[in-house]
Amino acid sequence: MRLYHRRVPELAEVEIVRRGLEAMAGARIERVEVLDPLLGDLAVSEIEGRRVEGAIRHGKLFGLELDSGKVLAFHLRLTGSLLRERSPRARLRLELAPGGPLSLVDPRRFATVRLEDRAGFGSGSGPDLLDEGLTADLLAVRGGRSKRAVKAVILDQQVLAGVGNYMADEALWDASLSPMRPATSLSQADWRLLLSSARSVAAQALARGGASFSDYRRVDGSLGEMQEAFNCYGHAGEPCRRCGSTLAKTVVSGRGTTYCPSCQI
DNA sequence: AGGTGGACCCGAACGC
DNA sequence: TGCGTTCGGGTCCACC
């Protein structure tokens, strides 16, 4: 199996990686090679020899739980991917037994790796989108008091963890909500709809991404499964699949944003 | 508080 | 063809 993705990893892509890592529970980390100084100081001696107990995820952060009580936590940022192979381009390589090599490949070198306490894992961000304890009422309380654009609010990892640019655009499209709406203007019903839409996008991405995930695809290969399911992201200038109006592209809170000016209100 | 813009990177896409 | 330029994207940080 190849832990692989071609797009900026958001919640679903990270969850797929986590599932792949879960299979390594019970393996021992025999060796750690830090090949890129940009990764900073990693306490290699606290990792080598430890046994992997499981794999966890919170938002876009995921990690290997070690038997020492620590978590080897990864954030893939823009271009990071984990490959179950010994890649010559790796920034970091682990050798697991059993399991073999695991390489962090990351052309733009933004990904981060840290060793942290289990209790601290994910504590820097809000509830995960898929956390069962996250209700629409709670989301409304956490995000609904802000005058910021609702897209900026759902992208804010402190408010809600896991949503990235494509999920935000797709969820807002699905909920027929304008990305520019001040979060304060959303009703309870709007928040319920938005949370449900975001979860639906995540579920669909998991299903589609899971399908493309186990196969190797060329980087310049044709469309992946999830991309085919996008209703607005990447479709600026095309007709809206709901109302037929032309999808517009703009910038909201510094992020490229595609939406339907007619039916997202 | 929140927005804005720069920084971090480098592959890809684009322009000439 | 080949060179140069621009852009993007998650997050943080400095600055209004």
Q: Specify the CATH number for the domain of residue A76.
A: 3.20.190.10
**Which residues interact with strand B by a CB < 7 Å criterion?**
A 38, 78, 107-110, 146-149, 152, 219-220, 253-254
The DSSP result for A115-136, as a single string, is EEEGGGTTTTS--BTT-TT--H
Same domain, A116 and A140: no
Residue among A31, A181, A255, A261 flagged as catalytic: A255
pLDDT tens string A72-112: 999 998 888 888 889 888 999 999 999 999 999 988 899 99
Q: What is the DSSP letter of A161?
A: B
A9 is annotated as an active-site residue: yes
Where among A88, A120, A152 does a domain terminate? A120
Scanning every strand, the nucleotide with its C1' closest to A108's CA turns out to be B9
Give the model confidence (pLDDT) of A111-170 as tens digits: 999 999 999 899 889 999 999 999 999 999 999 989 899 999 999 999 999 998 888 999
Domain contains A263: no
- Band of residue A238 on the pLDDT scale cut at 50, 70, 90: confident
Q: Is A60 a catalytic residue?
A: yes
d(CA A58, CA A192): 21
> For residue A154, how far is the Cα from the chain centroid?
13
Q: Name the E strands within chain A.
A: 28-34, 52-58, 61-66, 70-75, 81-83, 92-97, 100-105, 112-117, 248-252, 255-259
Q: Let me know whether A71 and A30 are in one domain.
A: yes
Indicate whether A15 and A97 sit together in one domain: yes
A110 touches strand C (CB under 7 A): yes
What contacts A43, CB < 8 A, 6 or more positions away?
A: A115
> Sign of dihedral through CA atoms A199, A161, A21, A93?
positive
Q: How many independent structural domains does chain A possess?
A: 2
The phi and psi torsions of A135 (rounded to 5 degrees) equal -105, 165
A61: containing domain: 11-120
One domain, residues A76 and A153 = no
Same domain for A175 and A115: no
**Is A31 a catalytic site residue?**
no
Please, which positions of strand B sit below 7 A from a protein CB? 1-6, 8-13
Between the CA atoms of A82, A85, A88 and A90, what dihedral angle is there, to the nearest 10 degrees? 20
Q: Give domain status of residue A212, yes or no.
A: yes
Looking at the structure, do residues A100 and A170 belong to the same domain, yes or no? no
Model-level pTM greater than 0.85? yes
pLDDT at A219 > cutoff 50: no
Neighbours of A215 (CB within 10 A): 11
The answer to whether residue A114 sits within a structural domain is: yes
Which carries the bigger pLDDT value, residue A22 or residue A1? A22
Residue A265 lies in a domain: no
Place of tokens 């897209």: A151
Task: Tell whether A100 and A186 lie within a shared domain.
Answer: no
